[in-house]
A = this chain, B = another copy of it.
Amino acid sequence: MAAAARRDVFQAIADPVRREILGLIAFEPMNLNAIAEKFDISRPAISNHIKILSECGMVSITQQGRERYCEAKLDPLGEVNQWIDQYSQFWSRRFDSLNSYINKVQHQNKQK
């Protein structure tokens, strides 16, 4: 594949396959072959997606014998969230769900 250029979180999560991969390994690490089996594309293609994800700090890889366990590191999503947050007044959902959560907590407190 050609040389890498831009490599940031926004770019990383732009690809739907990479988002799926993150979803797969968010809760339990998997080795590369196990991940590749879940997709219709070739193992090397998955290997490259993992490489991209690890290059921007979203996947950490632990070698165990001949297997490489891939674990999602989702902290970089904070950067995306921060960027989005500055516009939160302009879109409703997140703010609504935060409000409803706050209201629930407040309600629970009043009942105490």
Mark A residues whose CB is within 8 Å of B.
Answer: 6, 10-11, 13-14, 16, 19, 22, 26, 72, 74-78, 80-85, 87, 90-94, 97-98, 101-102, 105-106, 109-110
How many copies the complex holds: the figure is: 2
Whether B109 lies near A90 (C-beta < 8 A) is no
Which 7 residue pairs are nearest across A and B when measured between Cβ atoms? A14-B14, A78-B93, A74-B90, A109-B109, A75-B91, A81-B94, A78-B91
Told that A13-B83, A26-B87 touch, could you supply 11 new A-B pairs with CB distance under 8 A?
A22-B87, A26-B90, A72-B87, A74-B87, A74-B91, A77-B91, A81-B94, A82-B94, A84-B84, A85-B94, A105-B106
Q: How long is the Cα–Cα vector from A77 to B22 in the complex, in angstroms?
A: 19
- What is the distance, in angstroms, from A92's C-beta to the closest C-beta of chain B? 7
Whether B78 lies near A81 (C-beta < 8 A) is no
Closest partner residue, chain B, to A74 (CB atom): B90
